Structure 1
């Protein structure tokens, strides 16, 4: 299924259109980013409205689309969420570093706004995997504020202040991050300009930038310097073994005598997750099918 085959976004789900547009921008450049942008959009959309007929139909179609993408792509970052989380976080931090370096160098333009804007959305997407670390949460707030602040200055013909504001505040004076699309930012900044194969906007590889410096007399409202990029787990990824009272915990043997690999346990978890999603739509048949697949895998080692 092509992304163009997705139905029109219902009005009630307008809040997720930013993430769907970011997915389209990364469709060819980075399918992993596109996949998780849509996965997060679906997750958020279900929280907003999964009952009305038009929203229910849209989200069900999007869920089906994601399943087809997942089955057609062999990238481990899509099939292993630990690797996927590292991929999205590393990419988001590169985009953030690019925008932050441009901002502190005083190079203000729509591309810098777009970079901060996209970094903020990608930090949102990271919540798909769970709660954000304190550093990432601070970077998310800073990126959203910077996008709104620089956009406002450019719109009013003002020169933005590089880096954090001298008074240590990050007030955007009422201009919200979500309001940027209403001003035509996404429409006026073609996806071909951000970030692609051009040298001016492609975020540099991790580690090639020294952390931006901040004058000693300038308070920093947010920790705008990201930590070292997360490294994906080496293959094969092994789950950590908890320790209780200095004794390693050993999982009980499978009652059927089947020996399952960590990857097979992950696959069973995925079936259960799909069943849970189906139950949110009151789709008992899909839930039963996925639970049966999980049970078959756990008892026979095969699906």
Structure 2
């Protein structure tokens, strides 16, 4: 477990929940803990790297990162960015999926609120690898809004509504008395909803897998029940599409002699499969087929 840091400078208040998430995952999932701290380090450097208290804090945080990196040794999720990105993303989406299924089943409790909010923090963390995809930006906005909305409903004795009813995007956040950051304003007015079907994630996350060495978030089931799925109100009947042609040689593709796949190749193939699953959520057959072809070619030929 990482050594405790010095008191958090006021300038870094926005990072307190990312650092708390890192501490919570030191034993549960050290890779997730490492990238939460790395995100905090990079973001803190942008906020203030000159004042004495901030420099002192960042110096100790850097020491924590170096110690943790040595402890993790040659872990692929640390030495290879694409593997680390897949690890954190899959973990975040697994947590999001748990909370989303609880929400759509009408089970509102502090655990699912924290799962929604923590998922949004971990999606923040993905920015250490580059810009977020539009899909993950939407996941993050929705998770934060949902945590805020349900928290305020329960606080005010109001029964929350399941699903994305009333979703209008991110809100402002303040720290509540439980030490978890949610918006301080009241639950949104659902009569003026700007939600449009197809713009928001649903609980039907095809292709989400927990990477080797990762664990389901605390207090969430390792496997969600088969009945957990998209609420009936979100079901969209597909419209006819022109299915793109598939290279016939891929139907009977087999690994070519001498082809050796690296962990990076496997991680990239996994990402292509995930992208294909996400495309099918939005009935985008062309994108789904394109990504599946890329994954199959990579796995059989060792190249794209």
TM bucket (normalised to shorter chain) is: 0.5 to 0.7
Output the CA distance in 2 between the equivalents of 1:73 and 1:217.
43
Q: CA deviation at 1:209?
A: 7.5
Pair 1:184-2:178 in alignment = yes
Aligned alpha-carbon RMSD (Å): 2.7
1:145 aligns with 2:145: yes
Which residue of structure 2 aligns with residue 170 of structure 1? 168
Residue 25 of structure 2 corresponds to residue 26 of structure 1: yes
Question: Cα gap change, 1:5/1:121 in structure 2, threshold over 3 Å: closer, same or farther?
Answer: closer
Q: Does 1:109 align with 2:109?
A: yes
Contact 2:103 2:162 in 1 (8 A): yes
Residues 98-125 of structure 1: CA deviation (Å, up to 9, x unaligned): 0000000000011111010101111111
* TM-score, normalization by structure 1: 0.62
Deviation, structure 1 residue 81: 1.2
Q: Deviations over 1:211-251 (max 9, x none)?
A: 52351599xxxxxxxxxxxxxxx5253699xxxxxxxxxxx
Could you say which residue in structure 2 is the equivalent of 1:40?
A: 39
**Inter-partner Cα distance in structure 2 for 1:210 and 1:202:** 12
Q: 1:204 aligns with which of 201, 220, 223?
A: 223
Q: CA deviation at 1:87?
A: 0.1
Q: Distance between the aligned counterparts of 1:78 and 1:48, measured in 2?
A: 25
Label 1:90 to 1:171 Cα distance change in 2 as closer, same or farther (>3 A): closer
Tell me the alpha carbon deviations over residues 26-78 of structure 1, each in whole angstroms, 9 at most, x when there is no partner: 11000000000000011111111111001011112211221121122122111
The secondary structure found in structure 2 opposite 1:215 is helix
Residue-pair matches, total: 208
2:113 and 2:148 map into 1 onto residues whose CA distance is: 8
Where do residues 238-249 of structure 1 align in structure 2 (5 Å cutoff)?
A: none
Do the aligned partners of residues 209 and 134 (structure 1) sit closer, same or farther apart at CA in structure 2, a change above 3 Å counting?
farther
Report matched runs for 1:69-108 at 5 Å: 69-74=68-73, 75-108=75-108
User: In 1, are the aligned partners of 2:39 and 2:128 still within 8 Å (CA)?
Assistant: yes
Q: Show CA shifts across 1:236-281 (max 9, x none).
A: 53699xxxxxxxxxxxxxxxxxxxxxxxxxxxxxxxxxxxxxxxxx
Q: Distance in 1 between matches of 2:100 and 2:46?
A: 32
User: Whole-Å Cα distance in 1 between the matches of residues 263 and 88 of structure 2?
Assistant: 20
Q: How far apart, CA to CA, are the structure 2 residues paired with 1:35 and 1:209?
A: 34
Which runs of no fewer than 5 residues in structure 1 stay unpaired? 188-193, 219-233, 241-303
Q: Which residue of the partner structure matches residue 271 of structure 1?
A: none
Aligned mates of 2:59, 2:87 — CA distance in 1: 26
Match of 1:235 in 2: 262
Q: Kindly indicate whether the alpha-carbon contact (under 8 Å) linking 1:70 and 1:79 is maintained by their aligned counterparts in 2.
A: no
Structure 1 CA distance for aligned equivalents of residues 234 and 136 of structure 2 = 23
8 Å CA contact retained: 1:10, 1:55: yes
1:145-164 deviations in Å (ceiling 9; x for gaps): 00000000000000000001
Alignment match, 1:195: 217
Q: Structure 1 residue 210: deviation in Å?
A: 6.1
Q: Determine helix, strand or coil for the equivalent of 1:237.
A: helix
Aligned to 2:231: 213
**Residues 25 and 236 (structure 1), Cα distance of their counterparts in 2 relative to 1, 3 Å cut:** closer
Larger Rg: 1
